[in-house]
Structure 1
Amino acid sequence: MAEIDHTVHVALGERAYDILIGPRLLDEAGALLAERFPGRRYGIVTDEHVAKAQLPRLAASLDAAGLEHETIVLPAGESTKSYQKLETVVEGLLAARLERGDLVIALGGGVIGDLAGFASAITRRGMDFVQMPTSLLAQVDSSVGGKTGINSAHGKNLVGAFHQPKLVLADLSTLKTLPPRQFAAGYAEVAKYGLIDDPGFFDWLETHFDDIRDGGPSLGEAVARCCAHKARVVIEDERETGVRALLNLGHTFGHALEKDTGYSDRLLHGEGVSIGMVLAHTFSTRLGLAPGQDAGRVAAHLRRAGLPTTMAEIPGALGSTESLLAAIAQDKKVQRGALTFILTRGIGQAFIEHGVDPQAVHAFLEEMRP
């Protein structure tokens, strides 16, 4: 019997699904899938790092349950979210003769989840898929909510589809194998939920951070609380036409910095979000919207988690302020050319601001540059 510590239900009518959170779910995945989706074959999409660390557990579990499966292994890293690798996955699923009624398994972090989810959305005009996130970032954010996609030369996540998974299995034991830098990058997304509209959760994170970092009981609770928060937002605004945009706190600046660094290991996604959230709070202070001490408190907590909080901490030279602003202008929240930012009136008081003055953003970036 699978040991499930937390269950979060995403109530989306016919597209509803559960997020199961527990310590050894990859070892129980076969039994869980056989019970919920009898008679299916499976296409596992993963990357070379996860294939070494976690794939044997999943494969053994599927074999024990008598489930047929094929595996597609991709290079690790943000650059895998590309047209080329999308074609690799789609053609791999077709070559495996997986049918429309079969299931794709996204085994990995946010890159694999986004890519495999998008591939399942378009292969045979739509296949079901299951998210098995193995990074903290994926467990608390990218595996939940049905946003799938790849990057373009014009920016991050600009090509994709809304395609909800049928199930999410968040195995907490996979987080023990993460390098500290990857764990910290995921923690940026954890902190984000408190900074959006739950100051009590941010207070709790400040108190319980050591236990979260050390893999104690607070880690599972943090994952569950983040998933529940995101589920509520997704239920209210599945296709990001309103309040779901709040989940992008820190991402407008962060995505621009990721593009500037070539989607490379110079700056992981969560690190970009960390810097972006500090910039969003500082920019809000500059605009007279938020108290300055809140930006300092946010930066202090993220630094404690081992995250960068300033542009000066990004290795190597950055492009021009104009290039950063051009990347911001390609953000998905832009409406008819007007810049849209997630700003804040303080911790837990984020809001959507349309029509932000580009000159004010330019001047702010100039000030914040190393």
Structure 2
Amino acid sequence: MKTLNVNLGDRSYPIFIGQDLLDDAQLFSQFATSSASFIVTNTTVEPLYADRLEASLKANGQQVIRIVLPDGESFKTWETLQTIFTGLLESNADRKATIFALGGGVIGDMAGFAAASYMRGIKFVQIPTTLLSQVDSSVGGKTGINHPLGKNMIGAFYQPIAVIIDLKTLLTLPKRELAAGLAEVVKHGAIADHLFLDWIESNAAALNNYDLSCLEHVVVKSCEIKSAVVAQDEKESGVRAHLNFGHTFGHAIETGMGYGEWLHGEAVGCGMAIAAELSVQLGYLSLEDKNRLIRIIQTLHLPTKAPQWDTSKYLSYMSHDKKAESGQIKYIVLEELGQAKVQKVDDDLVISTLKVAGAI
């Protein structure tokens, strides 16, 4: 088992990465509480992993209550969030209760938001079971839900007390979900570490084939990169915005298509291709490096062609981006592979980029 740390002063927490950690009752013993433990999961993950997690918690004398949500991005809503609150209230959960978020990014975001809100804050532990949540969404304390007008626009920064990553849960992922997680892995290399991007390119076939040693490497490396960024800028006032490379365009695609039609990672993969083109248009990234990044994305079985919409639709959805200030969107672009920056861009150049990318 490898242990990393997210350094946030009195809100610091460990990230445990290894195999069969769901069965490690001793590991879970440090999160035992005098109150109940709540497993928040979904209908897909529950039959796969909830019994094992519950057994580890009960081995430490915990009362365990499950709250099972429907599976999918389309359920990341107020209505589904209320299901968590109802389960907590019906069980008389008090301030010493702990939520264990067992699932992918949707579960982690909603369970974290519920933990941030219930009785003004209770403890929660992230137990991500998808690659995307293991390399990205479980670390950093972003929680929230979607709105029909914008993705993740309602939420809170609220840190878990730990992240527990059992790598073997990746073996039950559908190939499409695996690829979606690899999009965020590529993002980390593209914005922060060109040598990591080289490694991803060289090991793409092994990653596509669920090689656990390769998957462990990308999980550890991604968590290291994200933890360092979060420690510098917890609430995204500066460098943390770089983690949104590809997301402004990607979130527009997710929202416009209807949540769940494109997986988050698929939209981010496509969004990175467009953002790379914008980086070229701005005179930063070379055409050769843009094409290389797109090839890497495609090698990992991710889309790079955006849906074709009219200009106003793209601009409308992107205007709800969280990085927008005074109505102007700030984009994350690449100065070179491994180095990102925040850039304000005139709509005319964005429109030109979308045309070149075949999106309008």
TM-score calculated relative to the size of structure 2: 0.96
Which residue is equivalent to 1:301? Answer: 296
Which residue is equivalent to 2:332? Answer: 342
Which residue is equivalent to 2:82? Answer: 87
Q: State the shift of 1:218 in Å.
A: 2.0
Which residue is equivalent to 1:362? Answer: 351
Structure 2 letter corresponding to 1:365? L
Which residue is equivalent to 2:276? Answer: 281
What is the SS of the residue equivalent to 2:336? coil
Asked whether 1:18 is paired with 2:14, we answer: yes
**Residues 134-156 of structure 1: CA deviation (Å, up to 9, x unaligned):** 00000010000000000112200
Q: State the shift of 1:359 in Å.
A: 2.0
Q: State the shift of 1:319 in Å.
A: 4.2
Q: Equivalent residues in 2 for 1:63-82 (5 A)?
A: 63-82=58-77
Indicate conservation of the 8 Å contact 2:40/2:84, yes or no: yes
d(CA) in 2 for partners of 1:184 and 1:36? 32
Which residue is equivalent to 1:322? Answer: 312
Q: Equivalent residues in 2 for 1:236-247 (5 A)?
A: 236-247=232-243
Query: Where do 5+ consecutive residues of structure 1 fail to align?
Result: 313-317
d(CA) in 1 for partners of 2:266 and 2:10? 36
What is the SS of the residue equivalent to 1:310? coil
**Residues 246-305 of structure 1: CA deviation (Å, up to 9, x unaligned):** 0000000000000011112x2100000000111111111122221011111111111111
d(CA) in 1 for partners of 2:67 and 2:32? 21
d(CA) in 2 for partners of 1:105 and 1:320? 43
What is the SS of the residue equivalent to 2:94? coil
Which residue is equivalent to 1:97? Answer: 92
**Residues 83-137 of structure 1: CA deviation (Å, up to 9, x unaligned):** 1111111121111111111101110000000000000100011111000000000
Q: State the shift of 1:199 in Å.
A: 0.3
d(CA) in 2 for partners of 1:75 and 1:145? 24
Query: Where do 5+ consecutive residues of structure 2 fail to align?
Result: none
Which shifted more, 104-113 or 54-63?
54-63
Which shifted more, 10-19 or 35-44?
35-44
Q: How many residues end up aligned between the 2 structures?
A: 358
Structure 2 letter corresponding to 1:33? F
Asked whether 1:39 is paired with 2:28, we answer: no
Q: Equivalent residues in 2 for 1:109-120 (5 A)?
A: 109-120=104-115
Flag as ranges the 4+ runs of structure 1 deviating above 4 A.
none
Indicate conservation of the 8 Å contact 1:10/1:235, yes or no: yes
Indicate conservation of the 8 Å contact 2:4/2:15, yes or no: yes
**Residues 190-222 of structure 1: CA deviation (Å, up to 9, x unaligned):** 111110021011011112233333323121121
Which shifted more, 325-334 or 278-287?
278-287
CA RMSD of aligned residues (A): 1.3
Asked whether 1:217 is paired with 2:213, we answer: yes
Structure 1 letter corresponding to 2:14? D
Structure 1 letter corresponding to 2:228? R
Q: Equivalent residues in 2 for 1:166-181 (5 A)?
A: 166-181=161-176
* Percent identical: 45
Asked whether 1:59 is paired with 2:49, we answer: no
Structure 1 letter corresponding to 2:359? R
d(CA) in 1 for partners of 2:27 and 2:102? 15
Indicate conservation of the 8 Å contact 1:136/1:175, yes or no: yes
What is the SS of the residue equivalent to 2:96? coil
d(CA) in 2 for partners of 1:321 and 1:66? 58
Which shifted more, 237-246 or 210-219?
210-219
Asked whether 1:353 is paired with 2:343, we answer: yes
TM-score calculated relative to the size of structure 1: 0.94
Structure 1 letter corresponding to 2:121? G
Indicate conservation of the 8 Å contact 1:249/1:277, yes or no: yes
